[in-house]
Chains A and B, each alone.
Chain A
Amino acid sequence: MAIVMSFMTNKDILTGSMPSTFTLDNYVRAFERFPLFQYLFNSLVVSIVIMIGQLVLSSLAAYAFVFLEFKGRDLLFYLFIATMMVPFEASIIPNFQIIRDLGWIDTYSGLAVPFFATAFGTFLLRQNFKQIPKELREASQIAGMGDFKYYLTVVLPVSRASLVTLGIYGFLSSWNMYLWPLLSTTNDKVRTVQIGLKQLQTQEQLNEWGVIMAGAVIVIIPTLILLFFGQKKLQKGLTEGALK
């Protein structure tokens, strides 16, 4: 429906009539309105960096919570979980001030680093790591395998499916972020596509829904492609895992 609308003229949309003409005008105008390719590239960089950061940090943390035994482990875990419950809207202003003090406004670091640590990812992987049979670990310890090696050579490959899931999730949620990228950037250099989408809308005037929909379609297409291929990859990884 959104796709259909992106080809319609504004007049047809607003009066709710059937499309009288199909036009690519909306797309052309969406591209003219702001440096779309620059935005897409920025979104891509930020999303990939966040995705990788999240995968590394959460798998490390989840490993500690599942396989290592140390004092205060459970307490720390609940502390981690508690971080999920801090409403983002409440921490956004102090966070912005931190970014400002670090001089990270208008940088990729400012956009990405605050999202590296994720309780959500840690929690997801912890649940998954717990399903790994304990015998594997015992066997590896007898074989004299260290924790880091075990983490790299056994745990990560076995939980490939979850890592892919988390990766996709991390990528998509970063791709779709709006409020933070808007706050932490002041010009077009590192801005992401979601801000571009917002720029198509107005506050006091009539919105050109056709152009907005065209923008929305452009923004959604990469994520749908990723999901499509991620789905394939996910299943492939799973069948490989089943052969173990």
Chain B
Amino acid sequence: MKKLLAFLTLGLLLFLAACSSEGGSAKEPGNNGDTSDSAENAEKQEVTFWHSMGGAGQEALNKIVEEYNTSQDGIQVNAEYQGTYDESLTKFNAVAGSDSAPSVIQTFEIGTMSMINSGQITPIQEFVDADSYDMSGLEENITNYYSLDGKFYSMPFNSSTPVMYYNKDAFKAAGLDPETPPATYEEVEEASKKIVESNPEMKGFALQAYGWLWEQLLANQGALLLNNDNGRTDTPTEIGWTEEEGKSILEWVKRMVDDETFANYGTNGDNMMAGFLAGDVSMFLQSSASSRDVIDNAPFEVGIAYLPHPEDKERQGVVIGGASLWMIDGKSEEEQKAAWEFMKYLQTPEIQAEWHVGTGYFAINPGAYEEQVVKDAHAEKPQLQVTVDQLQDTKASYATQGALMDMLPEGRKIMETALEKIYNGGDVDEAYNTAVEQFNVAIEQANAARGE
């Protein structure tokens, strides 16, 4: 009994101690995180940078931030991981305007409109103007996405596009030419049939049920996702694609499902890549950011090709995906200036080269492709060059500029459900009509919620 009492008392003391000690340390500027060591120099301007890079991306990012902090002594950047983009945004929305808010936050591309609407950010155009910074030095197809009415709201950062990965060894075994990968939907179907014929253990093609890929397949045939020019000339009021454009994708998948050449991995991209690496499927679509990992981990030769398009449509190209950096409003001028310096640093060719090689994301600054590290990497893995070419071959239009609206995350989920219906033998008309109806309702509700 006495032991128990002693234990409880000890517990209370411990708790009090924890409270007070932590109350004390909170006042010190010191911070023993891995990337930050600011206590030594109080004059340094601190910049808090919230990001969502886990795994290898975090490693590369931390390295860059560290290099920046040691390269000069006026600014101290603290890179802090905040979970997925969704989690990070939720947290940001709740702390916006308070002291806990960061100076810079990394947000995914479909969060662009939400961020603008939030009223908690300073458009970086202000800094571009004040500093006469030349944004045209950056990759045009990337800056296209992030500028709205000729104004930049955020600084592009990690960028990627979808590409088609294929198993060259399997192509050879099936009597296909590994150097001319299928470019159209129809060719993909044919190749899939040949693959399955030569090896019944392997499926031809896999498409992850992922709304981002739906958006990309639309853009590649020149279709808009939302009306009013993808939401770039006015607030969208309904979907932007035509029935023919939308159904072409679903019907394409449906034909492969019927041929039994399609591998269904649902919404799980990891399983799909694992299936590809294990030789269960010969082709799949995925972000170019994975290219380095896929090539490194495959026990066979990996080919990378452009995103396929319907035979009767011309290839338009891809929309940029990934994330950008936002300047948070309500911070001191010094802090914002310091954050701007850091953003500019990230755009330099050397840093972009390091980032591109370290992660597989694009270099936003094409100058990076002239850096030796990138040249070496591309010489070693010529497939990486394809991902860059596809981006640079993209025809600028509203379709490939990408859609802007705050309901895009919800729209993605709706399209994912429609794709899954097809994967499981569902009817194209039914899946398509339900999805379009839900998509339009979601747009309507999002507009209503803004009180417009």
Q: Which chain A residues have a beta carbon within 8 Å of chain B's beta carbons?
A: 10-11, 14-16, 33-35, 38, 45, 48-49, 52-53, 55-56, 93, 96-97, 100, 105-109, 152-153, 156-157, 160, 179, 182-183, 186-190, 195, 198-208, 211
B82 and A205 form a contact (CB under 8 A): no
Q: Is B125 an interface residue (CB 8 A)?
A: no
Chain B residues, Cβ within 8 Å of A106: 26, 100
Q: Is the CB of B278 within 8 A of A203?
A: no
The answer to whether B90 touches A93, judged by C-beta atoms less than 8 angstroms apart, is: yes
**CA A100 to CA B52, docked complex, whole Å:** 21
* Complex CA distance for A133 and B94, rounded to whole angstroms: 50
Q: A186 touching B11 by the CB < 8 A rule?
A: no
Min C-beta distance of A190 to chain B, whole Å: 7
- Is the CB–CB distance between B299 and A186 below 8 Å? no
Q: Is the CB of A206 within 8 A of B293?
A: yes
Select from chain A the residue with minimum beta-carbon distance to B296: A11
Say whether, besides A52-B11, A100-B98, A202-B55, A187 and B322 are in contact (CB < 8 Å). no
B58 touches A52 (CB 8 A): no
Is A203 touching B84 in the complex (CB atoms < 8 A)?
Answer: yes
Q: Which of B416-446 contact A (CB under 8 A)?
A: none
Interface residue stretch chosen among B28-36, B129-137, B332-340: B28-36
With A108-B22, A157-B4, A204-B160 in contact, is A100–B94 under 8 Å at CB? yes
A109 cross-chain contacts in B, Cβ below 8 A = 19, 22
Q: How many inter-chain residue pairs (CB < 8 Å) link A and B?
A: 150
Question: Does A208 contact B32, Cβ atoms closer than 8 Å?
Answer: no
Q: A15-B277, A105-B95, A198-B83 are in contact. List 5 more A-B contacts (CB 8 A).
A: A14-B274, A14-B278, A107-B22, A107-B26, A156-B1
Q: In the complex where A186-B50, A205-B360 touch, is A35 in contact with B34 (Cβ < 8 A)?
A: yes
- Inter-chain CA distance A233–B48, complex, in Å, is 46
User: In whole angstroms, how far apart are the Cα atoms of A105 and B87 in the complex?
Assistant: 16
**Alpha-carbon separation in the docked complex, A152 to B9 (Å):** 12
Q: Which residues of B contact A11 (CB under 8 A)?
A: 296-297, 299
Q: Are A206 and B94 in contact (CB under 8 A)?
A: no
Query: Is B53 in contact with A14, judged by CB distance below 8 angstroms?
Result: no
Contact of A160 among B4, B12, B56 (CB under 8 A): B4
Residues in A neighbouring B270, C-beta threshold 8 A:
206-207
The residue of chain B having its C-beta at the shortest distance from the C-beta of A157 within the complex is B1
- Contact (Cβ within 8 A) B4 A52: no
Interface flag for B15 (CB, 8 Å) = yes
Q: Which B residues lie within 8 Å of A48 (CB)?
A: 11, 14
Given the contacts A33-B58, A109-B19, A93 and B289 also touching, CB distance less than 8 Å: no
- Measured CB to CB, the closest approach of chain B to A87, in angstroms, equals 16
Determine the chain A residues whose CB is within 8 A of the CB of B85 once the complex forms. Answer: 203
Q: How far is the CA of A179 from the CA of B294 in the complex (A)?
A: 30
Q: Check A202–B22 contact: CB distance below 8 A.
A: no
**Which chain B residues border A179 with CB–CB below 8 Å?**
87
Shortest CB–CB separation between residue A225 and chain B, in angstroms? 19
The one of B22, B32, B90, B359 in contact with A35, judged by C-beta atoms closer than 8 angstroms, is B32
A36 smallest CB distance to B (angstroms): 10
Fill in one digit per residue for B286-316: 1 if any A CB lies within 8 Å of its CB, else 0. Answer: 0101100110111100000000000000000
Beta-carbon contact of B80 and A187 below 8 Å: yes
Q: Are B80 and A186 touching (Cβ within 8 A)?
A: yes
A237 to chain B, nearest CB (A): 10
Is B82 in contact with A204, judged by CB distance below 8 angstroms?
Answer: no
With A97-B94, A188-B34 known to touch, is A206 a contact of B22 (CB < 8 Å)? no
Identity of the chain A residue whose Cβ is nearest the Cβ of B280 in the assembled complex: A16
Q: CB-CB contacts of B59-80 with A at 8 A, as 1s and 0s?
A: 1000000000000000000101
Choose from B14, B290, B299 the contact partner of A204 (Cβ within 8 Å). B290
A-B contact pairs, 13 of them (CB 8 A): A16-B274, A48-B11, A100-B95, A100-B100, A105-B100, A107-B22, A156-B1, A183-B91, A195-B83, A200-B54, A202-B56, A203-B84, A203-B85
> Do B297 and A10 touch (CB < 8 A)?
yes
